[in-house]
Amino acid sequence: MDTSPLILLAAGGTGGHLFPAEALGVELIRRGFRVRLVTDARALRYSGLFSKDMIDVVPSETARGRNPLQLAHAGLTLAAGTVSALLLMRRLKPAAVVGFGGYPTLPPLIAARLAGVPGIIHDANAVLGRANRFLSRHVRAIATSLPGVLDRDPALGPKTTTVGTPMRPAVLAAAGATYAPPEPNGPFRLLVVGGSQGARIMADIVPGAVERLEPALWGRLILTQQVREEDMARVRAVYDRLKVNAELAPFFTDLPARLASNHLAVSRSGAGTVAELAAIGRPSILVPLPGSIDQDQFANAGVLAEVNGGLRIPQTEFTSDRLASEISALAAEPQRLAAMAAAARSVGRLDAADRLADLVVKVAGI
């Protein structure tokens, strides 16, 4: 039986939470540790580092809205998840638990506190998420991707370390590809994505924007777009009519390589997407998801916009006319695209997994 120390990684079942957990897991395994993932049922569809025999599922529920019945149900589910996680702590005896955000991290991190197991949280966003904000006073260390995330709460400063966002091996490989701006009359590669679940707004706006481009640009365009199944037919019909070279799919498993091979990305601004754009160094047009309590995607996009590595367009201003204008301008200025790529790369961190692993080892005392 392998007796090397075990580190439990707790993450919500979306790519933005799971990918940094995977990256840390790869580094910890390289250092000789064992790792397991504690999450909710959504992650069972995940096919990265964590095989099914490395995943422990605990009950979890996101607290949404103010409906008393919904809040009570969420509270009871989280309580049941904490009991389940406590039993897990007693059985597995981990050296530390590292949480990456999302409500599924609450039961394992609360259980870790109750069981006396060192807890660490990592937040990839420019503002602390709600689950991590709750946990911040109950863990021994806080790791952030960006400096200044906790400036408004100086009491947490002594246990906060800025490490960056851990990058998966696929991202590190893609980061080695040098950005080559488009030739004046050569192919212009455009990537459109909307987060791990896709985004209807991209299906609503991008085809109209492409239609508004100069016909000469249609012939240059090599478009790759993430499109939900329910939107596929209407989006494909536009591109077929324009005779645009377009590859459409609900999800791309090789997204880091695709980011590296394109001249421009149009995307939501989840923490993982922004971190990967910075690590790989690619220009982008970012459309933050509106309606978030924390406005985290707006803040994330600001990280690239403030260094001129990306354009941030609020959804209220994201129209086909506006997008067509921005794409046309950028396609006509290859050197501006190259400058944006370099600016994005300047805020990327490729050693974050190593830095976070160092913190975990220190906190766990192993």
* Confidence band of 148 (pLDDT split at 50, 70, 90): confident
Q: Residue 23, SS3?
A: helix
Residue 155 backbone dihedrals phi, psi, to 5 degrees: -65, -25
What mean pLDDT is reported for the chain?
Answer: 91
Q: Which of 323, 63, 90 is nearest to 212 (CA)?
A: 323
Nearest to 220 by CA among 183, 169, 268: 183
Per-residue pLDDT tens over the stretch 153-196: 889 999 999 999 999 999 999 999 999 999 999 999 999 998 65
As a whole number of angstroms, the distance between CA 21 and CA 37 comes to 8
CA distances from 356 to 16, 20, 143, 167, 260 (A): 17, 10, 7, 11, 25
Q: Which residues pair with 260 in a beta bridge?
A: none
Q: What angle do CA 12, 86, 144 make, to 5 degrees?
A: 40
Q: Per-residue pLDDT tens for 273-301?
A: 999 999 999 999 999 998 766 788 999 99
- In this model, does residue 241 exceed pLDDT 70? yes
Helix, strand, or coil (residue 144)? strand
Average the pLDDT over 308-328 and give the result.
Answer: 97
75 pLDDT higher than 80: no
Residue 197, pLDDT score:
53
Reported as type and span, the H/E element at residue 69 is helix 68-92
pLDDT at residue number 81: 85
Domains detected in the chain = 6-166+350-364 (3.40.50.2000), 172-346 (3.40.50.2000)
17 CB-near residues (< 8 Å, 6+ apart): 11, 100, 101, 102, 105
Of 186, 249, 178, which is closest to residue 222 (Cα–Cα)?
Answer: 186
For the full predicted model, state whether its pTM sits above 0.75.
Answer: yes
Q: What is the pLDDT of residues 324-352, one digit of tens each?
A: 999 999 999 999 999 999 999 999 999 99
Contact indicator for 99, 135 with CB cutoff of 8 Å: yes
What's the pLDDT at 259? 97
Q: Which two tokens stand for residue 257?
A: 């390589």
Backbone angles phi and psi of 18, in degrees to 5? -75, -35
Q: Which of 134, 117, 128, 97 is nearest to 21 (CA)?
A: 97
Contact present, 342 and 304 (Cβ < 8 Å): no
* The predicted structure's pLDDT at residue 130: 87
Question: What pLDDT does 44 receive?
Answer: 64
Residue 80 has pLDDT above 80, yes or no: yes
Q: Is the per-residue pLDDT at 3 higher than 60? A: yes
Whether 63 shows a pLDDT value over 70: the answer reads no
**What pLDDT was estimated at residue 362?**
97
Count of CB atoms situated within 10 Å of the CB of 39: 29
pLDDT digits (tens, 9 = 90+) for 9-50: 999 877 778 899 999 999 999 999 999 999 887 766 665 788
**Residue of 52, 46, 58 whose CA lies nearest to 22:** 46
Instruction: Looking at 153-270, list the stretches that DSSP marks H as alpha helix, in order from N- to C-terminal side.
Output: 169-174, 200-212, 215-220, 232-242, 255-261
Q: Which of 196, 197, 305 is nearest to 255 (CA)?
A: 196
Name residue 289's amino acid. L
